[in-house]
Structure 1
Amino acid sequence: ECATRVARRAGVAVAYASAGRGDDLRGVVHEWAGEPDGVLACMEALCGAGVASLCLAAATEEAPIARLRAAGAAGERAPFAWLRAADLADVWSALTAGAAALADVQLHGAPERTCLTGANGSVVLSHDEALALLFGPERPARAAAALSPAQFLALRAALPWPLFLWGFDAL
């Protein structure tokens, strides 16, 4: 069962928050949008009604989440979903498109043996290091060995890529 609260000002919706959807999102605020004060009021209403006690958020610092952390809310980083990239080279090309300094940097191979090639040669990254390189929160130190200083700085600016997928049904 999904519960939604809407914040209004002068009869106009300015924010909303939704909690609960299937067994895996029961008790979790999983979707919100709008003005930070309104979002926080909606989250508070959901928590106060006993509908939610957790908030699902991406690693980015959206205003409502930053304010929750500043107020003492505890955060925990963990994988929420699993996905498989059909072609690692294509994913890499999409993530680094438009970054001229990364034009000669390649990421290729299989998840269990991923190779990063840059101006200084190639390094083999473990599955966990490849995921950390692409999606953070930290970049693997080994990646720096393959890259020139300009490539490393460009990579720091381009990655980690904030991954957020939607449209999947809850269990």
Structure 2
Amino acid sequence: MIKKLFGLFSEIQETPSKLEQIKLEEPKDDLESVLQRDLFIAPLEGNLVPLSDVPDEVFSQKLLGDGFAIEPSSGKIISPISGTISSLFPTNHAIGITGKDGREVLIHFGIDTVQLQGHGFKALVEQGSKVSVGQELLYVNIDFVRNKGYSIITPIIFTNLSEGKSIQVTVNERVQLGQRNIVTIL
């Protein structure tokens, strides 16, 4: 009986425990994941405009948050960050993206363009879609929007910046679609 117990005990000693068999891996924060998390690119091509020059008080008074605007030269809109489409207005004129880090970005194409009821706008994603930085989100026929008498100035708003944080951009600068380093959060 003792031999059986000692034999069993030696088998138990030789068999690694379940905890020893599980290899705990440290979370990896490699350069690519840091870049994807922190990267913000120009969602449109055009000229940077300060929010104070946007012809809508909701944006110019920063009622939805701080940000900047772009007067676009084309209608292609890409995701400035990686994340999830948290809101896509039925008229496709505005889209909200929540980044992997929780940062919320609103792209509102034009001023009062909700009145177009979706005409001239084509969504390339759906609400709830996962998106990567640089992925196409919307296409807008800017000539149609202009010809209907609407401003195409497009506010890009950070809707949930921490208190005391602000956005810095070089206004009146021309930006290319996908250009990096256009905005600094202070």
Going by fraction, where is strand more abundant, 1 or 2?
2
Same fold (TM over 0.5): no
Q: Which one has the bigger helix percentage?
A: 1
TM-score, normalised to structure 1's length? 0.22
Higher RCO structure, 1 or 2 (CA under 8 Å, sep 6+): 2
